[in-house]
């Protein structure tokens, strides 16, 4: 159940619970199911994106950031979506390098969100 405390915590990572529950056919249960599943799918993508940034592999950076953008967008996790989108947009615009700040924001929001999901059980 999305208690006021959980809604507040999710709001801090850019997630509008009311909007997302509506998107999931007005079912909190369905939204929570997919919110929790997000982390199983995204864990490896976040690690791979971090490794790609460290290696300076722009093709892998674009690929992994794009995947993460889609995954996080599906559940409305904007604090992960927005930096992922910026990274994708920057690579596509030829502005390669300097992704560390966006990656740092993305990873911090991801970890905060994952901690919330773990509290949900």
- Residue spans per domain, the chain: 4-120
Choose which CATH entry (3.40.50.300, 3.90.1010.10, 1.10.3720.10, 1.20.120.160) describes domain 4-120: 1.20.120.160
Q: Considering only CA atoms, which of 36, 39, 38, 37 is closest in space to residue 120?
A: 36
What Rg value do the Cα atoms of the chain yield, rounded? 15
pLDDT tens, per residue, the chain with 121 residues: 788 998 898 998 889 999 999 999 999 999 999 999 999 999 999 999 999 999 999 999 999 999 999 999 999 999 999 999 999 999 999 998 889 999 999 999 999 999 999 988 7
**What is the C-alpha separation between 14 and 29, in angstroms, rounded?**
20
């Amino acid at each position: 159940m999305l208690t006021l405390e959980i809604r507040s915590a999710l709001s801090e990572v850019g997630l509008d619970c009311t909007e997302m529950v509506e998107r999931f056919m007005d079912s909190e249960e369905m939204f929570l199911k997919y919110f929790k599943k997000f982390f199983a799918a995204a864990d490896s993508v976040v690690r791979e994106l971090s490794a790609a940034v460290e290696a300076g592999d722009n093709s892998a950076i674009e690929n992994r950031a794009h995947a993460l953008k889609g995954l996080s967008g599906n559940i409305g996790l904007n604090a992960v979506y927005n930096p992922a989108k910026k990274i994708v947009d920057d690579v596509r615009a030829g502005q390669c390098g300097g992704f560390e700040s966006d990656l740092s924001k993305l990873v911090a929001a991801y970890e905060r969100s994952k901690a919330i999901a773990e509290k949900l059980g």
